[in-house]
Amino acid sequence: MGKISKVFSLLMILLGGILVLAWAGTGYAIGLYEEGIEENCDSSVGTLAQITDWDDGRCDDAREDKEALERYRPLAGVAGSLFVGLGLIVLFRT
Q: Tens digit of pLDDT for each residue in 46-60?
A: 777 777 777 787 888
User: Would you state the pLDDT for residue 31?
Assistant: 94
pLDDT of residue 1: 57
Confidence (pLDDT) at 41: 82
Query: What is the model's pLDDT at position 75?
Result: 95
73 with 26: CB under 8 angstroms? yes
Q: What pLDDT shows up at residue 56?
A: 80
Q: Can you list the residues of the chain whose pLDDT is less than 70? A: 1
User: What does pTM read for this prediction?
Assistant: 0.78
> Cα 25 to chain center, whole Å?
6
